[in-house]
Structure 1
Amino acid sequence: MAVSGPVLRIRDVRKGYRRRSVLRGLSLDLFPGQLVGVVGENGAGKSTLVRILMGDLAADSGAVERRGVVGSCPQETVLHGAFTVEQHLRFFQAAYGLENLDRAFTLLDQLNCRGYRGERLEALSGGTRQKLNLVLALMHDPQVLLLDEPYQGFDWETYLRFWDLAAALRDRGCAVLVVSHLAYDAARLDTLYRLEAGTLREAERDSAIGVVS
């Protein structure tokens, strides 16, 4: 069912650790069919923001409203080295209540990763693990997708495949938020924000391209 209005609404979110204020009143609306980026230096609070949006971490104040099914790809994976790729898919199939793994296998194909279905995670490269991390976030077809450093460890071909996949998700109405310390390919995004001094500001497109860490 189509959703009108924002599928993710953030209002005056604040978070601190002890005496250090990390997020200082963030507000943002994310709409269906948007591909939005948030870029910031290491330690700027990007992962803290994603965890709050996912519901894994409570904000000190402010509000986060989510509409529709949410998928998330955290920077720290929830993968187990002793399990195979397919075993991970089966576990998440049960957790999501999916009838089959057709979409998961399609995503593996798109990321050139289907040949690893029987491989245990401990034998895989960091980039291949990150591919699985992304598939697990997408296999239940979410309406909101939160990605924290999603392409770390990817080679160039997989990096390009990632952006093709992100564009396809946007075109089918998914709201995609990409959080990273890299601001390459800013032209692929509908909007780019910079997280700095605990606040969000919209970045100038020309000045945003590059590495900010």
Structure 2
Amino acid sequence: MQVTDVHHAYRRHAVLRGIDLDLPPGVLAGIVGENGAGKSTLLKILSGELRPSRGAVTHRGRFGYCPQDVVLNDALTVRQHLEFFKTAYGLADLRRAEELMAALRFTEYANTRAGVLSGGTRQKLNLTLALMHDPQVLLLDEPYQGFDWDTYQRFWDLAAQLRDAGRSVLVVSHLAYDAERLDQLYRLNDGRLHPHMSAAAHTPEGAAA
């Protein structure tokens, strides 16, 4: 994914003031920013939900997006969600989805309605729906929200596996948790992306426990 000189304003209020980002294959990157920094606007533009006032976002290959707010139908079971998205993605089977369910440890909920799932399990399903078509570019918005510690670790293992398989992965978060796992880390401030300290050398403060 390549982001070039992206600007956006709401009337006279400039939110993004020239965002440039190159996310090549095989990179696990992160963007952090305080509330009001423009993360929501940037995410909408990166996902194609909003057109920038100026600039461009391009990506090649399949695109996956896991929003912070889960997009589930409470009346449908987990498997019915997977079948629906299998049709939408034009997939031949649910093999990849079943692998993800096993990795995230919620296979036993396949026939459970989404409306009675815990918040963490709903987020597991949300993440599975974004990954089940094996996207080459993946945008994750606070993807570990509601996860317990074991699932949180499994998420990062999965993210590393995707990176090692040549996928482009971008995690957007409020705080720089586990920044040492990232290849690139940026802070969104004053409408611009600023390279953070070396991700590999960073020791996160207040990491999840």
Do structure 1's residue 147 and structure 2's residue 144 form an aligned pair?
no
Output the amino acid matched with 2:164: D
Alignment map for 1:73-84 (pairs within 5 Å): 73-84=66-77
Do structure 1's residue 187 and structure 2's residue 180 form an aligned pair?
yes
Secondary structure at the counterpart of residue 8 of structure 2 = strand
TM-aligned CA deviation for residue 208 of structure 1: 7.3
TM-score (norm. length: structure 1):
0.92
Which residue, 118, 125, 130 being the options, matches 1:137?
Answer: 130
Residue 102 of structure 1 is matched in structure 2 by 95
Secondary structure at the counterpart of residue 161 of structure 1 = helix
Residue 24 of structure 1 is matched in structure 2 by 17
The answer as to whether partners of 1:47 and 1:75 remain within 8 angstroms in 2 is no
Q: Percent identity?
A: 62
Do structure 1's residue 174 and structure 2's residue 157 form an aligned pair?
no
TM-aligned CA deviation for residue 44 of structure 1: 1.4
Q: Aligned partners of 1:150, 1:17: CA distance in 2, in Å?
A: 27
Structure 1 outlier segments of 4+, above 6 Å? none
The answer as to whether partners of 1:134 and 1:150 remain within 8 angstroms in 2 is yes
RMSD of aligned Cα (Å): 1.5
Residue 199 of structure 1 is matched in structure 2 by 192
Secondary structure at the counterpart of residue 142 of structure 1 = coil
Secondary structure at the counterpart of residue 183 of structure 1 = coil
Secondary structure at the counterpart of residue 141 of structure 1 = coil
Q: Aligned partners of 2:173, 2:205: CA distance in 1, in Å?
A: 11
Output the amino acid matched with 1:192: L
Residue 163 of structure 1 is matched in structure 2 by 156
Q: Aligned partners of 2:205, 2:13: CA distance in 1, in Å?
A: 28
The answer as to whether partners of 1:183 and 1:208 remain within 8 angstroms in 2 is no
Q: Aligned partners of 1:105, 1:181: CA distance in 2, in Å?
A: 30
Secondary structure at the counterpart of residue 98 of structure 2 = helix
TM-aligned CA deviation for residue 23 of structure 1: 1.1
Deviations 1:95-134 (A, max 9, x none): 0000000100110010011111111111011111111110
The answer as to whether partners of 1:37 and 1:189 remain within 8 angstroms in 2 is yes
Which residue, 188, 202, 205 being the options, matches 1:210?
Answer: 205
The answer as to whether partners of 2:65 and 2:138 remain within 8 angstroms in 1 is yes
Secondary structure at the counterpart of residue 125 of structure 2 = helix
Which residue, 103, 106, 116 being the options, matches 1:123?
Answer: 116
TM-aligned CA deviation for residue 43 of structure 1: 2.0
Q: How many residues are treated as equivalent by the alignment? A: 205
Deviations 1:154-187 (A, max 9, x none): 1110000000000000000000000001211111
Residue 89 of structure 1 is matched in structure 2 by 82
Q: Aligned partners of 1:210, 1:81: CA distance in 2, in Å?
A: 36
Stretch of structure 1 that moved more, 70-79 or 89-98: 70-79
Structure 1 spans left out of the alignment, 5+ residues: 1-7
The answer as to whether partners of 1:103 and 1:139 remain within 8 angstroms in 2 is yes
Which residue, 25, 39, 42 being the options, matches 1:46?
Answer: 39
Q: Aligned partners of 2:40, 2:114: CA distance in 1, in Å?
A: 24
TM-aligned CA deviation for residue 24 of structure 1: 1.0
Deviations 1:15-39 (A, max 9, x none): 1223322111100100000000001
TM-aligned CA deviation for residue 135 of structure 1: 0.4
Output the amino acid matched with 1:210: E
Output the amino acid matched with 1:24: R
Do structure 1's residue 61 and structure 2's residue 29 form an aligned pair?
no
